[in-house]
Structure 1
């Protein structure tokens, strides 16, 4: 009879889902011994648990709100000339000024061009922040740096003032060199067959525009860029001597970043004809139409900049973690997690004095942490101190909810009939779902805001709430019913 009840318990879909997730989590974590007989897993660790460095950069730019009686395009162009820097139109009433000015310095320039400065926020727009993030990620990946994270820190107004770069396994000198190094950009022209010859390097490119559609009206996407006068002369001479102006199709221009071809295309017929008689400093590299053309244009913009950021930055903070300190943090977090589980078990035992109730509660709590670790391993989320804090918080809130279920079922210390049991369990799960929704709402701003060091805490807490409500609480309700029936 008992074996049949155990078989029935483990065939229940709620318990079965829990068991399957536990098995899958163990497979995802994959605890095993490496070649040095050290126990290792698939979990990824951040700077808190291994050697590495972090650098926080501050943007020397500002987003300014304005009003003007002049045409907006004319106003922006004149402002850019007056300030001697790039001024990018963010929307109809805001511009991004890619140079460090304070509010009092900018006001006279706006007034002289028929405008009024309405608002001022240090930082860059979200579009420029995305570009900066892509440039840094591409630069870090090109250097072969693993376990690197680039997080832009954006305020409520959508203006990004800082970017934080974390690189595991890299010391501070290496980190500063990687961030500060600019790639070697080169333009070459095809001569005969597949042979090419050098035309100019990236230092001849004076400015790079944002991706846009062709000014010729073809609808193709591309990136406009400007050559210096000397660079334009060299470009014209190379185009003529190679035959690119006469036979563009057989004399393509190739753009290379660190000796890797990133763009190759012939001169347009209009440009080829123009270069026969005059130099041109304004060029447009077409990448095609549609979404694919737009995405390629975005990548080409990054490569034309050769790793150079569109705005100047300064180091606002930096730090590093030694290998021994990271190992110490890891050991302390492991001990803290074990102690938290033991203390939870002790408090629960003191309350109920019944091992058959305490043991399932602790095991369900531990299984929840195991499932979360499995998710972390699958999505390659880096473990750091806030993440561990989130796991411990899940441990505490999880046991609270199990207590709610147990107390609701054991109302007045009496084991209820099956029908009454189901009603009480349903009431307990409703209370838990309301509490879980409250936690999700409270954690959501923390997860969405670019507070890079706290994002892990919020995400893990939210994941724990979802796993608890969907998987572990229903399974516990079924298990505790079987135990109490005895």
Structure 2
């Protein structure tokens, strides 16, 4: 058995690839449809989500998308849906507002052209938006999508009949929360520091770096006097180039908010494990990452935090300023953090952004979303979602069938060319089997959710080659590399789109080129050793060249 260990190595990887492609789990049964999008007008909004599987409508089992369409087309009143094994009841007035697609029967992930996806139209809120503004927005959105790890996304500027510019996004497998929280967010970042001022007999001192400004409360009024400024509650003002807001007055304290960092101050967003991560905290998960801010922003922080008293936390024993730093994104509070007393009055260039979520997956997604927005920068204009709908595949199942037939014809053509040359099945069949194996292994590597399978294949490969080496069979470094590298590549996955299918079909022809060279040399060596004339050598060389070309053209 170990004498033919190379053949067993190929068989193990082909068998593992077949399992990686076809061994698919159906946690909620094989029947049903997958939710692609839930519209804002749907009664199932915020209840059902993209990626959930609907198996029944009013107790009737759904087999495919066509049956779903016929069942829900005119539904009104009370509707019962079984999604992910759980029953939900909705009251439908006009439309259910749920777009679906057929459940994938393999672990292969197909692209937009084959499987279809989602079309989103975004509209600028501002007036007089130019085509250059739209181009800048698209460039920023593409950067966000790449940083977030989104695949199969196309951005198009379009002009409506009203003469206004819109942005059309086409994507495969795009979640609604990604649209709302990543793509349509403007991404304006702002960090504010609270600055308290202690009062004594209605008077105090506002410290800003090395400057000090007298503060007093105006009698019988809600206003205060700060230097030469008269301020009312919630009034904004600028002092030494820093934007402030007078918030309110308590019995013996005034509270101000200062803008210390903006999105323009963000120079770098750290993503490495030393400065970014997720950890368990209490009953949830805490995410964090560090940003590098500009010198000007750090100086503003130093000025604002100067003169703020510190206090002792009796639970941790640490000292903190009587202040907090509040982090906002598009005027929404992301997190509020205490400031260590040692940072008061210091130039601080590496603040840490934190937040919490209930699950580890949600914490990772939120961290990645914030990092993507902050790294890509703010959009020059504000966007709003106009419409979201499902687009049908441009190619679809008919194209897949055509590609399968094309691959079959290519394989038959290659078999014919090879058989005409050698006229021996024991040479032709192994060559065709190896070419077929290449295609299967490529698809197996592309498949998703197959880490366990490829892990087992890696272990079996290692055991097989080690046993062959131990029994002193001839082994080589290339066998080791292939046996280890292919299963490791199988741990990844990639989308099968039109170029990928074309490449796989071409591989049927190009993959056999080296086999023709090896087979021809092997056959000739087995013949009686005679001195070949120059004409015979040229004849052999011409077959190798034209045989390889013929198989490539046939494929």
TM-score normalised by L of structure 1: 0.43
Q: Greater share of strand residues, 1 or 2?
A: 2
Q: TM-score, normalised by structure 2?
A: 0.39
The one of the two structures with greater contact order (alpha-carbon pairs below 8 A, sep at least 6) is 1
- Indicate the structure with greater helix content: 1
